[in-house]
Structure 1
Amino acid sequence: MSESPLTSRRGFLRTAVVLVPAGALAGCEGGAQSSAGNAQQSGGSQPGQTQAQAAPYKPRYFDAREWAFVQAAVDRLIPADAEGPGALDAGVPEFIDRQMDTPYAHGALWYMQGPFQQGAPELGYQMKLVPRDIYRLGIAAVNAYANKAYGKDFDALDANTRDALLANLEAGKVELDSVPAKVFFGQLLQNTREGYFCDPIHGGNKDMAAWKMIGFPGARADFMDFVNQNGQPYPYGPVSINGERT
């Protein structure tokens, strides 16, 4: 891409809002829990419950080393700055971990019969790995590369080195044993975007901070009066599927 999300937050947000469908902003794809009770069991906060009162989220799929990688990586993909919260503040790691228990992450809705051959890009995804496997194998491979090149796991690297390594993964300049670098980076980046802009019921976009930042109304029943008011900020805060308001 001409403007890397690693070097320009503004550029990342421009591309992310275009690439994540409007419907996905209100309810991200993947079949994650859709009830208030399920969200509470997964560590999500409910109306009237502050972040301080909510129990810290414990990953279900990722082990401790993988969890450290996910947090360190998404923190560099969307760092906090004056424009808005970062991926960590928005709960993106929780969103990704919760997605690993959905049919999407298991490839249950994909055609996964062989032969698996590298095809032209316009043919779409052709690998035998499902998202869960891409993460498990990709994180292990990146940590192995980081240890060989820098003597540390990815999460122990300084911010500039993490940025450089992520940029090399994006460009396919790193050889990983078990999964192509571009495939792994693309999976991580897409899920980071989804977790940042999804409805909070799925674990990300805590307090609807990302929606407030871009002026998205969320799951409001009617906002058609404001659709054609180009350039005018939306005057009301967003509403989540659970009915939370800001």
Structure 2
Amino acid sequence: MPSLSPSRRQFLSSTSMLLLIASAPGARAAEHSGSLPWKPFAALPPATLPGGRWYVFTPEEARTVEAIVDRLIPADELSIGGREAGCAGFIDRQLAGSYGSSERLYTQGPFAAGLPTQGYQGSAAPTRRYREGLDALNKHTRANFGGKAFFDLGAAEQDQVLKDFETGKVDYKPAAGFFNLVLQNTMEGFFADPIYGGNKDMAGWKFIGFPGARYDYRDYITAHNQPFPLPPLSIAGRPEWKTGDK
């Protein structure tokens, strides 16, 4: 049998030593101590902002966004509307973070006209797009509805303005892109985890029957075509639970 090379001999010797250490009583005691070697969210904790204030929107911008989200998701007998669900607050908090400044995205040129399925292709960050879009929206309504801001219009008038923005029938070139941006963010706010400011009382999840951030579904995965019997659960727990940021 040929002799082992020094490097291979050293490798096998070190591996044997590791196995002996792992089998020692002290090592097994640490392995089965009952405590986890990590803490939840220790690596990347959810960054949350306290409610009760606006972080990015001016008062007029906030009123405008609240009016928009309430027309995109109007209240009815099935669910609360976008305003009550906190969609405007969700958008404001998102804009206050890395999303609003596009700091995690490549936004340098060259720029080309992309397909509608490719999303926004410009350099402006979402915060700037909101500022310019909301300003254009209120300028449009004041010019065409007797000096009224968007949030002062009736529901039917607001719907017509939003349709005109969606189809680009206004004197603002990025109108359709701005409408799609607000629509996307509104849907996110209605269905995201409540820890981020929207989906008040998990209304969006209750509406579609989503069970939320539960740890284990093994008892229910075979219950096909049956409603989930438990209420939805947020990352932060149930609303009646006390958490550290309350």
Q: Distance in 2 between matches of 1:95 and 1:122?
A: 25
- Which position in structure 2 is the counterpart of 1:181? 175
Correspondence 1:157 to 2:149: no
Across the aligned residues of Structure 1 and Structure 2, the Cα RMSD in angstroms comes to: 1.9
Q: Distance in 2 between matches of 1:227 and 1:172?
A: 46
Choose which of 150, 165, 190 in structure 2 pairs with 1:169. 165
- Which position in structure 2 is the counterpart of 1:91? 86
Identity of aligned residues (%): 45
Correspondence 1:233 to 2:245: no
Contact 1:118-1:126 at 8 Å conserved across structures: yes
Taking a change above 3 Å as real, the CA distance of residues 228 and 136 of structure 1, as seen in their structure-2 partners, is farther
Choose which of 203, 211, 214 in structure 2 pairs with 1:209. 203
TM-superposition CA deviations, 1:41-95 (whole Å, max 9, x none): x12xxxxxxxxxxxxx221100011011001100111011011111112111110
- Which position in structure 2 is the counterpart of 1:105? 100
TM-superposition CA deviations, 1:183-221 (whole Å, max 9, x none): 100110000000001111100011112112211111100
Q: Distance in 2 between matches of 1:58 and 1:239?
A: 25
- The SS at the match of 1:82 is coil
Taking a change above 3 Å as real, the CA distance of residues 69 and 121 of structure 1, as seen in their structure-2 partners, is same
- The SS at the match of 1:211 is helix
- The SS at the match of 1:212 is helix
Question: How far is 1:119 from its partner?
Answer: 2.8
Amino acid at match of 1:88: R
- Which position in structure 2 is the counterpart of 1:144? 139
Q: Distance in 2 between matches of 1:231 and 1:175?
A: 49
- Which position in structure 1 is the counterpart of 2:71? 76
Q: TM-score if structure 1 supplies the norm length?
A: 0.74
When Rg is computed on C-alpha atoms for both structures, the one with the higher figure is: 2
Contact 1:200-1:207 at 8 Å conserved across structures: yes
Amino acid at match of 1:170: E
**Which deviates the most, 227-236 or 97-106?**
227-236
Taking a change above 3 Å as real, the CA distance of residues 117 and 203 of structure 1, as seen in their structure-2 partners, is same
Correspondence 1:125 to 2:137: no
Question: How far is 1:227 from its partner?
Answer: 3.9
Question: How far is 1:121 from its partner?
Answer: 3.3
Contact 2:205-2:212 at 8 Å conserved across structures: yes
Q: TM-score if structure 2 supplies the norm length?
A: 0.74
Q: Distance in 2 between matches of 1:100 and 1:149?
A: 29
Taking a change above 3 Å as real, the CA distance of residues 115 and 225 of structure 1, as seen in their structure-2 partners, is same
Question: How far is 1:34 from its partner?
Answer: 2.1
Contact 1:66-1:139 at 8 Å conserved across structures: yes
Contact 2:100-2:126 at 8 Å conserved across structures: yes
Amino acid at match of 2:160: A
Question: How far is 1:120 from its partner?
Answer: 3.2
- The SS at the match of 2:210 is coil
- Which position in structure 1 is the counterpart of 2:31? none
Amino acid at match of 2:225: G
Contact 1:59-1:94 at 8 Å conserved across structures: yes
Question: How far is 1:231 from its partner?
Answer: 2.9
Gap runs ≥5 in structure 2? 1-43, 241-246
**Which deviates the most, 180-189 or 118-127?**
118-127
